[in-house]
Amino acid sequence: MKLYLRYLAIHFKSQMQYKTSFFLTLIGQFLTAFSTFLGIWVMFTRFNTVKGFTYTEVSLCYAVVLMAFSLAETFFRGFDTFPRMIGNGEFDRILVRPRSPVFQVLGSKIDFTRLGRLLHAAVIFAWAIPRSGVNWNAANIATLCGMILAGSLVFAGLFLLYAGICFFTLDGLEVMNIFTDGSREFGRYPLSVYGDAVLRFLTFVVPIALFLYYPFLTLLGKSDSLLWRICPLFALLFLVPCYLVWRVGLLHYRSTGS
Amino acid sequence: MIELSHLHKTFRVARRNAGMGEAVRALFRREYTEIHALDDISFRIGDGEMVGYIGPNGAGKSSTIKVMSGILTPDSGSCVIDGCVPWRDRRAHVANIGVVFGQRSQLWWDVPVIDSFDLIRDIYRVEAHQYRADLDELCDLLELGEILRTPTRQLSLGQRMRCEIAASLIHRPRILFLDEPTIGLDAVSKLAVRDFIRRINRERGTTVILTTHDMQDIEALTERIILIGRGKILLDGALDALKAKHSALRRIAVCFAPGTTSPAARPLPQGIALLSADEGRAEFGVDTALHSVSSAIECLTRDIDVRDLSVTGQSTDELVISLYEEFRI
């Protein structure tokens, strides 16, 4: 953990070397995310509800996915830029150091500019939490935190999966962005909006719904199922296959060495 | 102690001919050729030895280094380094080795070098007091003083390489792998780096394995060379002995007055060969097993107005070239 803080510090120092670039990117990230939010707002000025969800409810849902995604992007970005790492041989350096490769890849890139999105998510939370009509008791607060945490870990799992596949392709796979960026975009609305097939896919294949949709319903009081409330925990199972793919990829890499 | 025996490693490489049609075809059906990167590699290196590992590009040098540093798993054969099998006990093994890849940096690009060093200290869990003492010593020997507070990206190549080497030694490895450590350096930096490597080897007893294309590195640093070509060990022995064996060859350059007949024009006895001829200058290779130097000079300069004459032995570069030729690699 201490070492991770060291990594954090060195990335912070690195990024502070380019102050202007850092702040411009930060602002850019904030504005990009904000424009998406405007899109939702414009829609709701025309239609008051979408599939029974109000504007504030949708904002809350959007804030959760945005927060989870930007946390993942800030801290797990090493896996996102992984093909470059393999390409330029940096990964060999990781293998000659006596620490776990996953940990070192995590430490290899920590992108603080993504905090712009985080800030944006925080703003929406601040706006939506008091207006959403949710009764903010301890259980609901815990559920919300669980949703965000599980969410960022699911995104981290997606990044890990992507990196694991890169061991074989030695190149980035744009198709994976369907799941990472795609999930983030999908998550703007409660997932039932997209119909049953999509919802099922996002429950059992890429478990976005497990941390975003089902517990969200319990938050809003649309369901009082305890199972749905603890759904974020099941989402964590997604990390298991992702890690396995990574392991297999690592073995493959070490036997081909390319 | 490093012990490699009968290491094999085969890569499958996709091949295709040039052209758009071929590129499209390759998308669907690929033809692979097998490349024996390591073909029955065996050698043994004792503690504190300094070994030059040489061979042309693609001979298998990097693959061997990768196996020995735990990055690559071989197909068969064994490799035991200080009781560890590198690819099986990776973490225990790499704590004892230092690796310098001359072409790639291990330092963080945008921060002062000292920040990188501190982070490496934490990665290897080096004790604070040992780290301080070692750092002082390294800075002293490699003259890093001012450089330490400069961001890596602003360093010259020579400065960076000195920092790279220091970075690989922070955890006091028992074995140091240097992959082309002097590539692209100017003469002064090369000397500094060589000097330092020799010192580390002598004072700390660090085993050094060096791959390089710079034969002066080999000459200055190593007593033993291992020659690899097309995945096979072709030669393993003391550099001096090798030189003695191949030093029968001398080079005689004759400069003569322009307009006179060149010695290159005359018939040459066996054992003397013309290497190059210019207006007013000719160079010959002489096999001293057949001709003494004086008789060769006598033969070459008879009836000629000699302006200048030089006799040189074979350089390590030429030695290696003649070895490559001998083994046809």
C-alpha to C-alpha distances, B221 to A118, B199, B225, nearest whole angstrom: 55, 10, 10
Statement: residue A171 has pLDDT above 70: no
pLDDT at A189: 80
- Write the pLDDT tens digit of every residue in A118-128: 888 888 888 88
Residue B310: pLDDT over 90: no
Q: Which of B66, B73, B111 shows the shortest C-beta gap to A14?
A: B111
pLDDT digit string, tens, across residues A67-97: 999 899 888 888 878 888 888 888 999 999 9
d(CA A112, CA A53) in angstroms, rounded, equals 33
Which amino acid belongs to residue B231?
Answer: G
Let me know the angle formed at the C-alpha of A77 by A75 and A80, rounded to the nearest 5 degrees: 155
- Residue of B72, B81, B85, B107 to mutate, interface with A, max A Cβ within 10 Å: B72
Q: Quick: pLDDT tens for A178-202.
A: 777 777 788 778 888 888 888 888 8
Whether residue B169 contacts residue B98, with contact meaning beta carbons closer than 8 Å, is answered with: yes
- DSSP code for B112: B
**Extents of the domains making up chain A:** 2-256
Structure tokens at A122: 């925080």
How far is residue A175's CA from residue A206's CA, in Å, rounded to a whole number?
A: 14
pLDDT over threshold 80, residue B263 = no
A242 token code pair:
């992702």
Identify the residue whose tokens are 């975009």.
A185
Q: Which residues of A touch B10 (CB under 8 A)?
A: none
pLDDT band of B219, cuts 50, 70, 90: confident
- The predicted structure's pLDDT at residue B59: 86
Q: Is residue A137 pLDDT above 80, yes or no?
A: yes
The average pLDDT across B95-120 equals 90
- Contact (Cβ atoms closer than 8 angstroms) between residue B271 and residue B290: yes
Torsion of CA B282, B288, B290, B291, to 10 degrees: 60
Compute the average pLDDT of residues B84-95: 93
Contact A111, A39 (CB under 8 A): no
CATH T-level topology, domain B248-313: Alpha-Beta Plaits (3.30.70)
Q: Which pLDDT score is estimated for A55?
A: 82
Paired strand residues for B54: B227
Of A14, A104, A257, the CB nearest to B66: A257
Contact A13 B87 (CB under 8 A): no
Three-state DSSP class for residue A230 = coil
Q: Provide the pLDDT for residue A257.
A: 60
Q: What is the pLDDT of residues B8-48, one digit of tens each?
A: 999 887 766 777 777 777 777 777 788 888 999 999 999 99
The confidence score (pLDDT) of residue A193 equals 81
**CATH fold label, B2-243:** Rossmann fold (3.40.50)
pLDDT computed for residue A237 by the predictor:
93
Residue A162: which H helix or E strand, with range?
Answer: helix A138-169
List CB contacts (< 8 A) between A10 and chain B. 108, 111, 115-116, 119
Task: Check pLDDT > 80 for residue B115.
Answer: yes
Q: Which of B101, B83, B90, B103 is nearest to B177 (CA)?
A: B101
Look-up: residue for tokens 């010593």?
A: B137
Indicate the domain borders of chain B: 2-243, 248-313
Q: Is the dihedral of CA B244, B245, B248, B253 positive or negative?
A: negative
Across B175-205, b (16+ Cβ under 10 Å) vs e yields bbbbbbbbbebeeebbebbbebbeebbeebe
Handedness of CA A146, A148, A152, A154 (dihedral sign): positive
d(CA B19, CA A192): 50
Position A49 pLDDT exceeds 90? no
Contact B72, A255 (CB under 8 A): yes
Which of A72, A70, A65, A67 minimizes the C-alpha distance to A213? Answer: A65
Give the pLDDT confidence score for residue B314 in this predicted structure: 72
Tell me the average pLDDT of chain B.
Answer: 87
- Per-residue pLDDT at A1: 76
pLDDT attached to residue A119: 84
Q: For residue A89, what are its two tokens?
A: 């041989």
List, for residues A16-36, the tens digit of each pLDDT value: 878 888 888 888 878 877 777
Q: CA A54, CA A49: separation in Å to the nearest integer?
A: 5
The tally of CA atoms less than 13 A away on the side-chain side of residue A239 is 13
Residue of A nearest to B74 (CA): A255
What angle, 0 to 180 degrees and rounded to 10, lies between the N-to-C axes of helices A55-75 and A138-169? 50
Query: Which range, of B226-230, B232-236, B250-254, averages the lowest pLDDT?
Result: B250-254
Report which secondary-structure segment, H or E, holds B228. strand B224-229
Q: Is B204 on the interface with A (CB under 8 A)?
A: no
Cα A21 vs. chain centroid, distance in angstroms? Answer: 24
Judge whether B178 and B210 are in contact, CB under 8 Å: yes
Query: What does the mean pLDDT of chain A come to?
Result: 85
Residue A239 has what pLDDT? 94
Cα separation, A123 vs A207, whole angstroms: 26
User: Is B94 or A45 the better-scoring residue by pLDDT?
Assistant: B94
**Residue B155 per-residue DSSP state:** S
Q: Work out the angle at residue B7's Cα, subtended by the Cα atoms of residues B4 and B9, and round it to the nearest 5 degrees.
A: 145
How do strand B31-45 and strand B306-312 relate by DSSP bridges?
Answer: unpaired
Residues of A at the B interface (Cβ-Cβ below 8 Å)? 2-3, 6-7, 10, 13-15, 17-18, 88-90, 92-93, 95-99, 104, 251, 254-258
Higher pLDDT, B16 or B3: B3
Cβ pairs A/B, distance under 8 A: 74
The token pair at B180 is 């082309």
**Sign, Cα dihedral of B15, B21, B24, B25:** negative
- Return the structure tokens found at B62: 């990097």
Q: Mean pLDDT throughout A227-252?
A: 92
Name the phi and psi angles at B143, rounded to 5: 50, 60
B126, B203 Cβ separation under 8 angstroms: no
Chain B residues touching A17 at Cβ < 8 A: 110-111, 151
What is d(CA B152, CA B155) in angstroms, rounded to the nearest whole number? 5
